[in-house]
Amino acid sequence: MRVYLQPRVVAMLFLGFSAGLPLLLVFSTLTAWLRDEGVSRSTIGFFAWVGITYSTKVLWAPVVDRLRLPLLTRFLGQRRSWILLGQMGIVTGLVAMVSCEPTVSLTGLAISAVAVAFGSSTQDIAIDAFRIESAEDQYQGAMSASYIFGYRLAMLVAGAGALYLADWRGWDVAYLSMAALMAVGVVTVLLVREPGHNLSAETLALERRLQQAAHADQPGYWRRVEAWFLSAVVAPFVEFFRRNGTFALVILVFIGFFRLSDITMGVMANPFYLDLGFSKSEIASIGKLFGFFMTIAGSFLGGLVVVRYGIFRPLLAGAVMVAGTNLLFMQLAATGPSMAWLAVVISADNLSGGFSNAAFIAYLSSLTNRAYTATQYALFSSLMTLPGKFFSGFSGVIVDASNYSTFFLYAACMGIPAIVLAWLVWQRAEQGNPQIETAG
């Protein structure tokens, strides 16, 4: 257990907290704020598109990976400088959201929320690279566990904590308090040491071949720019497709569809609870606080099942569970504001979410080449949420055009492609695909 007292492992707890804090503040907590201020459900649904910023971070991940920031990189190093820059963007955006509250400027609030999401996703990219480069292989499990616990703790604070504060002191105080809590990550960045950056011989050889094929190894400014682009942007994708062949396309589609049902439903959860008659404190107590422990329990169970049965059977089971639990929300809509039914629904939803997430992260980790972990993981995590963020933008329109029960049925049906693709990926592994076998 002494591994969890290692300075880098302890640091990941606080960096995980810094990474998890902004997410709900531009997602479900923001939707509760908007609904509480009387914003229409259709408009709230469109606010889900703010989250697309997280889903497109692969576009600037190579820049975070290779571009040096003036002054900051000299004093802090490559990884810490980008983490700090992302944190400053988050704080600035949260303060701006308070000054552009829904009753003042809905457009300004949306722009400020995008700024928070952009700073947060940039921080995520840099923290992923920092985590991988900070410790030897034998410490990576502890690093990830510490990070995930900090991340979940921050989501509890930004979910239940923000709702409690909003109920007692108002939304302005809630969001300003969340901005102040980002100091946890800022202080951590200033205290930890910058990790070393080493490229393997295989990585250098691949990049050299790409540069020679494009004649980017010749003298000249634009040739140097082209060489940087090939090394930072092209090489990670070439390596992934070379390793997985044409089945790489199926893998990417599967990654994009796996959380489609979960994310589509999530944006309307808090407005649904409020419209059903639950108070913000009740939502915080059951939906956030109780849900937090159910998610941790689901993650723990998912991890055990992956160890016992491998990745693919839990992956398929998780896809079925996520789609199926959405149907329980239909029963809650018919029952009304029953605390007992809310606890049942939250238990099932968060247990299935934690279980499926544990299996899915294990699968994504198995796909990643350590030489390009930051960019490849950014690709996977971007695809993981992009379709869900896009379709969730229409969630409010569907509710307004029909009702909540129809919407939850629609969200459950959107999980069917993930179930089918999980089965295909499993069958591919059973057929003896060398990449998938090695990954599992």
pLDDT digits 0-9 by tens, 412-433: 898 999 999 999 998 888 776 5
29 and 174 housed in the same domain: yes
User: Quick one: average pLDDT of 366-383?
Assistant: 76
Rounded Cα–Cα distance for residues 151 and 20 (Å): 4
Tell me the percentage of the chain whose pLDDT exceeds 90: 23
Contact 239, 371 (CB under 8 A): yes
Q: What average pLDDT does the chain have?
A: 83
Q: Is residue 186 scored above 90 in pLDDT?
A: yes
Cβ-proximal residues to 46 (8 Å cutoff; 6+ apart), any chain: 393, 396
275 and 187 housed in the same domain: no
Q: Is residue 386 scored above 80 in pLDDT?
A: no
Higher pLDDT, 116 or 243: 116
Rounded Cα–Cα distance for residues 44 and 203 (Å): 45
Q: State the Cα angle at 81 between 72 and 191, rounded to 5°.
A: 105
pLDDT category at 353 given cuts 50, 70, 90 is confident
**Residue that has been written with the tokens 């997602």 in this structure:** 27
188 and 262 housed in the same domain: no
312 and 389 housed in the same domain: yes
- Mean pLDDT is lowest, of 118-127, 145-154, 212-221, for 212-221
Cβ-proximal residues to 320 (8 Å cutoff; 6+ apart), any chain: 415, 419
Last residue of a domain, one of 198, 213, 228: 198
CB hemisphere CA count around 361 (13 angstroms):
14
User: What pLDDT is recorded for position 140?
Assistant: 54
Last residue of a domain, one of 138, 164, 198: 198
The b-or-e profile of 189-208 (16+ CB within 10 A means b, else e) is beebebbeeeeeeebeebbb
121 and 42 housed in the same domain: yes
190 and 282 housed in the same domain: no
Q: Is residue 217 part of a domain?
A: no
User: What pLDDT is recorded for position 435?
Assistant: 43
Q: Is residue 385 part of a domain?
A: yes
Q: Is residue 223 part of a domain?
A: no
Q: Is residue 206 part of a domain?
A: no
Greatest mean pLDDT among 18-27, 308-317, 332-341 lies in 18-27
User: What pLDDT is recorded for position 285?
Assistant: 79
Q: Is residue 273 scored above 50 in pLDDT?
A: yes
Contact 96, 89 (CB under 8 A): no
24 and 166 housed in the same domain: yes
- Mean pLDDT is lowest, of 119-128, 175-184, 190-199, 213-222, for 213-222
Q: Is residue 235 part of a domain?
A: no
Q: Is residue 136 scored above 70 in pLDDT?
A: no
User: What pLDDT is recorded for position 124?
Assistant: 92
Domain limits for position 261? 245-440
429 and 341 housed in the same domain: yes
142 and 277 housed in the same domain: no
Q: Is residue 119 part of a domain?
A: yes
Contact 254, 359 (CB under 8 A): no
User: 418 — phi, psi (to 5°)?
Assistant: -65, -40
167 and 292 housed in the same domain: no
Cβ-proximal residues to 145 (8 Å cutoff; 6+ apart), any chain: none
Q: Is residue 400 part of a domain?
A: yes
Rounded Cα–Cα distance for residues 189 and 144 (Å): 17
Q: What is the CATH number of the domain that holds 64?
A: 1.20.1250.20
151 and 259 housed in the same domain: no
- Calculate the dihedral angle through the C-alpha atoms of 374, 380, 383, 386, rounding to the nearest 10 degrees: -60
| Residue 213 burial class via C-beta count within 10 angstroms: exposed 0-12, middle 13-18, buried 19 and up | exposed
pLDDT category at 217 given cuts 50, 70, 90 is low
Other beta carbons within 10 angstroms of residue 133's beta carbon come to 17
Last residue of a domain, one of 198, 217, 233: 198
Greatest mean pLDDT among 38-42, 235-239, 403-407, 416-420 lies in 416-420
38 and 176 housed in the same domain: yes
- Mean pLDDT is lowest, of 31-40, 338-347, 386-395, for 386-395
Contact 131, 12 (CB under 8 A): yes
Please count the structural domains in the chain. 2
pLDDT category at 439 given cuts 50, 70, 90 is very low
Q: Is residue 226 part of a domain?
A: no
